[in-house]
Amino acid sequence: MKALRLKLFQETACYKKPFASKVAETYPLPPYSTVKGMIHALLNANEFIPMRLSVQGTYEAKLLDYQRYYFFKKKELSCFPLVLDGLARVEFSYDKNEITTMPMYTHLLHNVHLLIHVEAEQRTLEQLIHAIEHSTTHYSLGRWEDLVRIDEYKLVEVQELEEEREETLQRDAYVPAQLLAREIKSIPYQLNWKYEIVNGIRQWEKINVGYVQKGIEAPEGVSIDEDGELVFYHL
Cβ–Cβ under 8 Å, residues 171 and 32: no
Residue 79 has pLDDT above 60, yes or no: no
Give residue-wise pLDDT tens across range 43-55: 999 899 999 999 9
Low-confidence winner among 9-13, 16-20, 212-216 (lowest mean pLDDT): 16-20
Residue 113 has pLDDT above 50, yes or no: yes
The chain-wide mean pLDDT, for the chain, equals: 86
Angle (CA) 170-173-177 rounded to 5° is 130
Cβ–Cβ under 8 Å, residues 124 and 49: yes
CA atoms within 13 A on the CB side of 164: 0
- Overall average pLDDT of the 105-122 stretch: 95
Give pairs for 203-206: CB < 8 Å, separation 24+. Answer: 204/33
Residues 6 or more apart whose CB falls under 8 angstroms from that of 96 comprise none
- What is the percent of the chain with per-residue pLDDT over 90, rounded to a whole number? 58
Domains (range + CATH), the chain: 2-231 (3.30.70.2660)
What's the confidence (pLDDT) of residue 91? 55
Residue 56 has pLDDT above 90, yes or no: yes
What's the confidence (pLDDT) of residue 196? 85
Measured distance CA(232)–CA(53) in Å, rounded: 8
Give residue-wise pLDDT tens across range 140-155: 999 889 999 999 999 9
Residue 180's pLDDT band, with cuts at 50, 70 and 90, is confident
- Overall average pLDDT of the 189-202 stretch: 86
Reported pTM: 0.84
Measured distance CA(154)–CA(32) in Å, rounded: 20
Higher pLDDT pick, 87 / 63: 63
